[in-house]
Amino acid sequence: MPTNTADIFRILTVAPNLIQIEVLDADRFKQDSSDFTIGSYLKISDDSNTSIIALVQSFKIKETTTGGTADIARPSFILDAQPIGFLDEDGKFKRGGQQIAIPPNNVSIADDAILKGIYESVGEDKKFCFANLAQKPSIEIAVDGDKFFSKHIAVVGSTGSGKSGTVARILQEGIRPSADQTQRGVLNNTHILLFDLHGEYKTAFPKSKKLDVSSLVLPYWLMNSEELEEMFIESNENNSHNQVSQFRFAVIQNKKKHNPSVVNPSYDSPLYFSLKEVHTFITNLNNEVVGKVDGENARPKLSDGTLVDDRCTYYFDEKRTFVVQSTAAATKASNGPFNGEFDRFVMRLESKINDNRLSFLLKPKKSATEEFKTSDFPVILKQFIGYNETEKEKENITIIDLSGIPFEVLSIVVSLISRLVFDFCFYYKAVKAASTEVPFLLVLEEAHNYIPQSEGAKYYSVKKSIERIAKEGRKYGLSLMIVSQRPSEISETIFSQCNNFVAMRLTNPTDQQYVKRLMPDSVSAITDTLPVLERQEALIIGDSIPIPTIVRIKDLTDKPDSNDIHFRTEWKKDWVDITFTELINKIKKEE
């Protein structure tokens, strides 16, 4: 910047959130920079060399007049800049406010050295890079990896903004081993579980552990009370409280039957029980007739005259036949307390048990004749922690392909797996040795589909599971990445816990305002660009980055299978014959 600056600019306004600068000679002001735009950075200094870094929010042309004639050949213009931090005595960038003598005496466009200094303030051992500065692609943007992953991340963007590629790039960098680890042929300690709603991430992670509806081991007996009741109870039915009461009783008693060594198992204990036997128990309750003859004491009475003292002894093993109702003194009998009340409940249980689409959940088989039991719990848990069939085979990232999961149980599946991972992290903290942390990232792709704002009973269990992780997970080394194209439809309780945002183009005004309101920083010069960001561009904002920054995500080698179908291009091709036999078989299997 030239020494004599009075004829180049002058300061008009200095306020905590706004500095106005009139640029009198644009050519001289921009002489060291050819790409000065809105979003560029300014260095504003005083006589003591205290410097503020400010972000250009807007500018307007100011016409000058000479002798009553407007001079429009060389107009001045006024910049509105928002202070975002300052340079300390050592020239290192610091966030926050810093007093500056009024008026400042120097304004210049922040050069590459200053910009690099800002982003190099992140410690070398904590640098995590997956993007470059959008305005200066030669400058790599580093975030603090510890702060980025440990404080929950939101990745948002409309369809076509490059959101899936961004998620893939971040995760690929996360699992990338160091040069030393590569040389030794070992994995790093990354643990990531990705819920893949559309089955698009397998191609981005060739070496990942992949689970889908055909390989996922997730037996129903791992479900807790909320998940079981969401699965089998209709909360809007008049007698739902009785359904819950008797279902709960049957489940607990059946757990006792199959786990005799466990003392006082609870409804939520991850212990095997037979759903088929519970269905039989409820069916018998629904058909029950009790004896009213003197001495029978209204006990259930079977058709052979047997009086049932303990329902658990008789009702689990087979469907019983009861005596006929009678008002005659010698054979007096009447309906039991729940006779006929559970007709719909029994039909619902039977329908779900016989639904082949739900076999992965309600009829999982260890072999042709063997079910998964309580003793298999370690094997079930390990599949989500990165282990394959043997503990020698491990993967940093586990992808759960949800595309084949029936939508009516999608939220239950996400709830159950998320809760199991939380429990793993919670109890691991209590038993781990010193310096043996196992930090875990849970990636919720298209999260608005299963953790919505809706207060409906359908989403109660999954919202409870994810909300607990959002509020408590960081204490136990479990963090979230919330990914969505409709952030305004996500539970605010969960979304508001995110401290780092990777916000791509958002075209919906409601989504824009929602995201802006929840962002930890309010830099309007940057946040106002959300609707006009280019594909693969993103705003990174939060605790992990020195200043809010618009970046361009680095290109991928292994990409997600998320490209749009080119309609017009495909329509111009010759007619494609459809193989209906294979298609119909696929539909029949899934429906």
Q: What three-state secondary structure class fits 141?
A: strand
Mean residue pLDDT of the chain comes to 88
Read off the tokens for 303. Answer: 């058709």
Q: What value does the mean pLDDT take over residues 47-76? A: 71
- Residue 420 φ/ψ region, left for φ over 0, alpha for ψ in the -120 to 50 degree band, beta for the rest: alpha
Question: What confidence tens digit (pLDDT) does each residue in 243-263 have?
Answer: 999 999 999 999 999 999 999
Domain boundaries, the chain: 9-121, 148-160+190-208+395-558, 225-353
Check residue 85 and give its pLDDT. Answer: 83
The CB density around residue 532, as the number of other CB atoms within 10 Å, is 9
pLDDT band at 2 (very low <50, low <70, confident <90, very high): very low
Tokens 């310096």 correspond to what residue? 435
Give DSSP secondary structure letters for 274-290: -HHHHHHHHHHHHH-EE
Q: Note the pTM of the prediction, 2 decimals.
A: 0.88
% of the chain surpassing 70 pLDDT = 93
Q: What value does the mean pLDDT take over residues 441-452? A: 95
Question: What confidence tens digit (pLDDT) does each residue in 291-316 have?
Answer: 999 888 999 999 999 999 999 999 99
Into which CATH architecture does domain 148-160+190-208+395-558 fall? Answer: 3-Layer(aba) Sandwich (3.40)
How open is the CA angle 120-516-55, to the nearest 5 degrees?
Answer: 45
- Cα–Cα nearest to 384, from 151, 152, 195: 195
Is it true that the peptide bond before 75 is cis, omega within 30 degrees of 0? no
In this structure, of 258-272, 277-291, 484-498, 562-576, the range with the lowest mean pLDDT score is: 562-576
Check residue 131 and give its pLDDT. Answer: 95
- pLDDT at residue 506 above 50? yes
Query: Where is pLDDT greater, at 117 or 180?
Result: 180
- pLDDT at residue 391 above 80? no
Sign of the dihedral defined by the CA atoms of residues 300, 302, 307, 312, in that order: negative
Alpha-carbon gap, residue 140 to 130, rounded angstroms: 8
Alpha-carbon gap, residue 453 to 140, rounded angstroms: 37
